Homo-oligomer: A and B are copies of this chain.
Amino acid sequence: MVLKRNRYKRERQQVMVSQLQENPFLTDEELAELLFVSVPTVRLDRLDLGIPELRVRTKDVAEQFYGQIRSLGAGELIGDILELDVGKRGITVLEVKKDMVFSKTKILRGHYLFAQANSLAVALINADVVLTGSASVRYLTPVFLKDKVVAYAEIVGQKGKSFVIKVNSKVGSAEVLRGRFTVVAKEMNDL
C-alpha cells in the first residue's frame, strides 16, 4: 500500500501549510529545516499544493493591503454611476471584488457598503463642499464576492444647508442595506 508514504507526505504538507499560514515569509530553505527534508522536497510540496514562492506570497500580501487602502481612496465616488440627478436622486453599482471581502467567509466588509451609500449621498448635493453630519445604517443581509450591489439614493428632506438622504442598496431583489444620511453643504470660506 502506498498509504503510509502518502500519509507521511500529506502530514508534512499539512504542517507546511499551517507554518505558512502563521508566517508567510518563510524561504524554502527555512521550511526545509523546519520539516526535516531537503529543499527540493519543499519545492515539490509547494508545487503539489499550488503554493507560490516566497516573493510572490509577499507581494500578494502587500498588494491586498495596498489595494484595500486604494479602493477606499480612489475617486470621490465608490461604485459606478448608473443614474445621477443631482439634487434629487442617484443610482450606483458596486461589484464586489476579492479584496473587499472577509477571506474566511467571502462576505463583503461593512464599510464598503457604507462607503458606497455615503459617497452617493454626498454626490447628490450640488455644492462645493459637502460633509456627512450623521449616518444611520442597517445591514439586512450579507453580500458576497462577485455580487453586484445597486444603491438607490434620494433626497427626502432639507433644512437650510442640511439635507437628509435615504439610501437603499440591493443585490438582485434582496435589500442589503437601508440607511439615512444627514449631510451639510458648506461654503469653502466657512472653514
Instruction: Enumerate chain A interface residues (CB-CB to B < 8 A).
Output: 24-25, 55, 58-59, 61-66, 68-70, 72-76, 78, 97, 99-100, 102-105, 107, 109-112, 114-115, 118-119, 122, 128-129, 131-139, 142, 188, 191
**Cβ–Cβ contact B68 & A75, under 8 A:** yes
**Cβ–Cβ contact A102 & B114, under 8 A:** no
- A78 vs B100: C-alpha distance when bound (angstroms): 12
CB distance from A64 to the nearest CB of B (A): 6
**Cβ–Cβ contact A109 & B76, under 8 A:** yes
**Cβ–Cβ contact B129 & A139, under 8 A:** no
- A122 vs B107: C-alpha distance when bound (angstroms): 13
- Given known contacts A25-B59, A65-B75, A74-B103, A110 and B129 CB-to-CB distance under 8 angstroms: no
**Cβ–Cβ contact B119 & A111, under 8 A:** yes
Closest residue on chain B to residue A112 by CB atoms: B72
Closest residue on chain B to residue A122 by CB atoms: B110
The 10 closest A-B pairs by CB, nearest first: A111-B115, A110-B132, A65-B65, A73-B99, A62-B62, A61-B62, A136-B136, A134-B138, A58-B62, A111-B118
**Cβ–Cβ contact A131 & B139, under 8 A:** yes
Q: Which B residues are CB-close (under 8 A) to A133?
A: 138-139
- A19 vs B151: C-alpha distance when bound (angstroms): 33
**Cβ–Cβ contact A102 & B76, under 8 A:** yes
- A76 vs B179: C-alpha distance when bound (angstroms): 23
- Given known contacts A114-B111, A132-B139, A66 and B61 CB-to-CB distance under 8 angstroms: yes
